[in-house]
Structure 1
Amino acid sequence: MSAAVGRRELAEVEPAAWDELLGVLELADAYLLREYVEGAALLDAGRPTFLHLAAPGGHVVFACLVREVPGGGFDVTTPYGYGGPVAVGEQPPVERFYELYERWCSDGGIVTSFVRFHPLFANHHQAPPPFRVELLASTIGWRLEAGGDLLAGMHPKHRNVVRKAGASGAVVTADAGPGDLAPFVELYEE
């Protein structure tokens, strides 16, 4: 686990320890995993950074990219997809996380943050001012239990769209991709 455990300070977690921490916290969401964040840094040039705040009542973790800003300074963004600070536990230190995050940004010359929150964690509800939350689009959640009827699990409106697409000749297939993308593919096939 990170060095912050028991000290109630915001810690930058070593990349090699990040996925293990997520596993302990039962947060192995594909968008939070180290390989996903590092892969996103190839497209959106930045330094993968993994933040953790621990407290007796819970934890807050935040995987992000720190990027240089033209003219000096840095900004923080989430990797493409979903992310943002994710809180777990009965009483996670959310308010304290944001206080320490603001200080961490100031100390590091970070002038702004752009966060894509995770709809399944609904973590946008925990973002305090000065974060300004804007709805950009809707997201559909779809449970993929083994042996389940996938169409039955869809909202009726979306089920009709899928049926119309099928009637028009659309076909869904899985392509594992070239071997060098295997770790990336594994994230999506979990």
Structure 2
Amino acid sequence: MLNMVEEQLKMEVIRDNNRWNEVVSSFEKSDVYYTYEYCSAAAKQEGGIARLIYYKNAYGTVIYPIIIRKIETRMEKPLFDITTPYGYGGPLIMGEKEILKEFKSIFHSYCKSTGIVTEVIRFHPLLNNVSYSESYCELQYIRKTTAVDLEFELPIIRESYSKMNRRNISKAHKHGLQCREVEKNTENIMVFWKLYKETMNRKNASNYYYFNKNFIEQQLKNTPISKSHLLFVFHGEKIISAVILFTAPLFAHYHLGASDSEYLSYKPNNLIFDFMVEVAKKEGSMLLHLGGGYQENDSLFKYKTSFTNNNLFDFYIGKNIFDHTLYNEIIADKEFSADSDEEYFPLYRSY
């Protein structure tokens, strides 16, 4: 059903690797989260399929990478929903914002005709595509994120760190910790994955964040517009902290991190965040996005801003329901537990 409708549209629904990245690379501003490599890996992790929506008219161009996921129900008709890949995304325009009116009409017709019931968007704080999306979907502010401005020379950037942060970096050096970028080979990926799983266990993370090894491996592949880096902190020969970093001419991103709880007092995380700044600066990125906290202004967020001199951005999500009747029928079809989050969207995925 999806393929039949896609072939009939004047809007292009792209599946091909080369065509996908050709379109994304043509944009003046884009990011790793829009590339085929990243989105296809994220789709496998989500149990869905990746598509790049591409639309062009007199006002300009729209690109929008999505993951289409099947909704498990007892209904005869196959039903789906869409989300953005883990990280940030959403419709991105090149041209005038008026293009979104016609894009919305055509894309939402596509969703309704293919049995897509809901849409969730994690908007991109740095690209600020939420600024022209008020008429596209229901918007919900989530929290601030923060990024290191890499315009200045490295000593000036480091001088802007908080005093406590600088002390902790010095403490890490006194313990003899060293940072190195390592090869993205099978052995090192396995080391990262094991350390990452231990970190998620320590934080009592939800199942969503327990990424499998294949997903980690795919994330470490370069794309036409970005590079990936695997960074380790060593205490002697022992690896005690690790990070996956993305770099590109516009933005670098702290993607995933992990650490050994036994060595946290040695401050390896402060050291590796500083090393991320150094690597991203060397690669020529303009900003290093560190993301946000679990909640607004929590301890994790305050830690990240100790590197960024409070350079802040707004993170929003967007929501659409294309068929309210079907949405309510799916909810009625599900058996929810007593602790289901009634504010979660879509509600049928809250159990």
Alpha-carbon separation, structure 1, partners of 2:20 and 2:44: 19
Shift of 1:78: 0.3
Q: 1:151 to 1:74 in 2, by over 3 A?
A: farther
Q: Is the aligned partner of 1:163 residue 2:166?
A: yes
Bigger drift between 22-31 and 165-174 goes to: 165-174
Q: Which residue of 2 aligns with 1:3?
A: none
Q: Is the aligned partner of 1:49 residue 2:55?
A: no
Q: Which residue of 1 aligns with 2:80?
A: 74
**Any conservation in 2 of the 1:53–1:60 contact (CA below 8 Å)?**
yes
Shift of 1:11: 1.6
Q: Is the aligned partner of 1:100 residue 2:113?
A: no
Q: Work out the percentage of aligned pairs sharing the same amino acid.
A: 24
> Following superposition, which runs of at least 4 residues in structure 1 exceed 4 angstroms of deviation?
153-156, 170-173, 179-182
**Any conservation in 1 of the 2:59–2:96 contact (CA below 8 Å)?**
yes
Structure 1, unaligned runs of 5 or more: 1-7
More helix by share: 2
Shift of 1:149: 2.2
What TM-score comes out, normalization by structure 2 length? 0.45
Shift of 1:112: 0.4
Secondary structure at 1:138 match in 2: strand
Bigger drift between 79-88 and 24-33 goes to: 24-33
Alpha-carbon separation, structure 1, partners of 2:158 and 2:140: 26
Shift of 1:153: 4.6
Alpha-carbon separation, structure 1, partners of 2:10 and 2:157: 42
The number of aligned residues is 179
Structure 2, unaligned runs of 5 or more: 1-8, 187-216, 229-245, 249-351
Q: 1:29 to 1:130 in 2, by over 3 A?
A: closer
Higher relative contact order (CA 8 A, sep 6+): 2
Q: Which residue of 2 aligns with 1:183?
A: 221
Q: Which residue of 2 aligns with 1:15?
A: 16
**Any conservation in 2 of the 1:48–1:63 contact (CA below 8 Å)?**
yes
Alpha-carbon separation, structure 2, partners of 1:125 and 1:154: 31
Alpha-carbon separation, structure 2, partners of 1:63 and 1:130: 16
**Mapping of residues 78-157 of structure 1, within 5 Å:** 78-90=84-96, 93-129=99-135, 131-144=137-150, 148-150=152-154, 152-153=156-157, 156=160
Amino acid at match of 2:143: A
Amino acid at match of 2:169: G
Q: Of the two, which has the highest radius of gyration?
A: 2
**Any conservation in 2 of the 1:9–1:54 contact (CA below 8 Å)?**
no
**Any conservation in 2 of the 1:19–1:28 contact (CA below 8 Å)?**
no
Q: Which residue of 1 aligns with 2:301?
A: none
Alpha-carbon separation, structure 2, partners of 1:177 and 1:162: 29
Alpha-carbon separation, structure 2, partners of 1:136 and 1:155: 30
Secondary structure at 1:113 match in 2: strand
Bigger drift between 176-185 and 73-82 goes to: 176-185
More strand by share: 2
